[in-house]
Chain A
Amino acid sequence: MEKKRYERPHIVKLDSGMPGKFGMRNDSPPTTHIDGVAVTELVEKYGSPLFVISEHTIRSTYRKAYKAFSTRYPKVQFAWSYKTNYLPAVCNVFHQEGSWAEVVSGFEYDKALANGVDPGKIIFNGPGKTASELMKAAENGSLIHIDHLDELYLLTDLAGEMKRKPLVAIRVNMDTGIYPMWDRFGFNYENGQAWDALNKIMLSGKLELVGLHTHIGTFILGANAYGVAASKLADLALGLQQKFNHTIRYIDMGGGFASKNTLKGSYLPGADTNPTFDDYAEAITTALVNSGFKPESLPLLILETGRALIDEAGYIITSVLANKRLSTGRRATIIDAGVNLLFTAFWYQHPVTPAQGFSQYREENTIYGPLCMNIDCVRESINLPLLNKGDKLVIHYTGAYNLTQWMQFITLRPNVVIIDPDGTAHLIRQNESNDSVSSLEKTPDYLIGIK
């Protein structure tokens, strides 16, 4: 006689009260396959935990975003925000789709060059560019977004030694009605700092002012803030025309669109309630089209969208290591992927689904990672089927920031694969080993050995 699939014995009291905030049912179907590839097969070949990137999802998300803007505005350019996910394979999917690169350090700048990006299509943001990085980028004809006056002075000085005039924009911060207001980066609009910087650039004659940039924040849930920001940049651009008879080439609205993730503390799932690309596009393009630009001289609209383009393409496959009951009677599940791999668990309630079919019984769970640290909590509260040790789970919407902010902390970082549109998996980052980590460590002779 064949044995039945085992499920833990489970009993739950029926309450007739209202469904609670955390009691929303989670009957999402199991994720047995990702882009047609069986999760079990992926784990067998590449181990657990495992990061999986769906190339199909990247491309289709990108195309949706591009369409939302290009159907409303004549000149649109995306620039892939490297810090969101700078694995070369991922960057090159975006570059193949037509994205430029947006980088915030010399390290990222060199990565973009190594990926084959035309230097003229690299936007160099960030508050910490060094003199040699500025020289290199400027001489390459990359677009330098000036963050503060010290950088403006430095670049103006360096310009004297250069063979070509540096191409620059300024980063503008402003009140768009959202809280908190990001005023740490760039020059403020309301208090006149932005005009001060523009005047200095125009009057020095040493820099070629080609654009205006803003990045109003991240995971912005109100699309209207972008309308306000676009109007303010348009206002600066039109002022430059009037005062200096100078026409800028582009307006760069930065990143910050929300992905489908659900912020911690939200009542409703982000996938149902967050603004769509169409909402953001409508706000931005309406503001630009309705400003004083002549229709034939509308500036190029650049977008540095990060998380909204990649979050949904990323998955982590993880294994149940143990389940236990906490002193309060609450069920806890321990998995092999913690906040060391899933930095964004601090912000989001990532959807988690089983990778195999289960009965309809569900139990409220807290999911912990494998780190011996109190902070290592992947989900504080989630309804899950009755999991056994060894079962696989899939964590969704993990494509943004995790593969750049993950930590080699307590455990080693795992393999990363991309699934191509034909359903073949390719390794795009090798798992770390003790050797690869310790190859960077040095022990002085007198500290070798224990005696």
Chain B
Amino acid sequence: MKINENLAISESGFLFNPSTGESFTVNPIGAEIIELMKEGKTEAEISEKIIKSYEVDIKTLQKDLHDFSEILRHHQLLDQYEETKN
């Protein structure tokens, strides 16, 4: 799972995909996760980081992370090349 590196995210959670011209809003935790993905962190590393700073249990987080990446995939925000390689 690799995020499209060209995505631009603003502080206020505005996300722009230059390859399609589509824009999105993302909540602060979503933006944080996308930033971590852009840095190339693995799912496990991301979970660890989030658990440290938020009041959430691992099961809930894993379920939500999985759902979030499904939605990113649905909106074609994951790297297409990486996707087909998997």
Contact = CB atoms under 8 A, between A and B. Distances in A.
Nearest to A361: B27
A359 B27 contact: yes
A447 B47 CA distance: 55
Contacts of A388: 60
B72 interface: yes
B9 to A, nearest CB: 10
Interface in B25-42: 25-30, 33
A10 B30 contact: yes
- The residue in A6, A14, A361, A386 that gathers the most chain B C-beta atoms within 10 A of its C-beta is A6
A9 B15 contact: no
B25 to A, nearest CB: 6
Interface in A1-43: 1, 3-14
Contacts of A389: 60
A325 interface: yes
Interface residues of B, number: 28
A14 B30 CA distance: 16
Contacts of A4: 53-55
Given A329-B71, A388-B60, A10 B26 contact: yes
A3 B53 CA distance: 5
Interface in B47-66: 52-56, 60-61, 64-65
B24 A9 contact: no
B23 A9 contact: no
B85 interface: no
A5 B54 CA distance: 6
B67 interface: yes
Contacts of B71: 11, 329
Contacts of A5: 54-55
B60 to A, nearest CB: 7
A13 B27 contact: no
B81 to A, nearest CB: 21
Nearest to B72: A11
Interface size grouping (class) on chain A: 20 to 34
Contacts of B27: 7, 9-11, 359, 361, 386
Contacts of B72: 11
B70 interface: yes
A4 B22 CA distance: 30
Nearest to B75: A13
Contacts of A11: 15, 24-27, 30, 68, 71-72, 75, 77
A325 B67 contact: yes
Nearest to A14: B23
Interface string A68-80: 0000000000000
Contacts of A8: 29, 64, 67-68
B29 A7 contact: yes
B47 to A, nearest CB: 12
Nearest to B32: A9
Contact of A14 (B25, B61, B68): B25
A3 to B, nearest CB: 4
B66 to A, nearest CB: 10
Contacts of A10: 26-27, 29-30, 68
A325 to B, nearest CB: 6
A55 B59 CA distance: 42
Nearest to A11: B26
Contacts of A386: 27
Contact of A12 (B25, B33, B61, B65): B25
Given A6-B29, A12-B24, 16 more contacts: A1-B53, A3-B52, A4-B55, A5-B55, A6-B60, A9-B65, A9-B68, A10-B30, A11-B27, A11-B30, A11-B71, A12-B26, A329-B74, A359-B27, A361-B25, A386-B27
16 contacts: A3-B52, A3-B53, A3-B55, A4-B53, A4-B55, A6-B54, A6-B56, A7-B29, A8-B64, A8-B67, A9-B26, A10-B30, A10-B68, A325-B70, A329-B71, A359-B27
A-B pairs, 9 with minimum CB distance: A9-B30, A6-B56, A9-B68, A6-B54, A11-B26, A3-B55, A361-B27, A10-B27, A8-B64
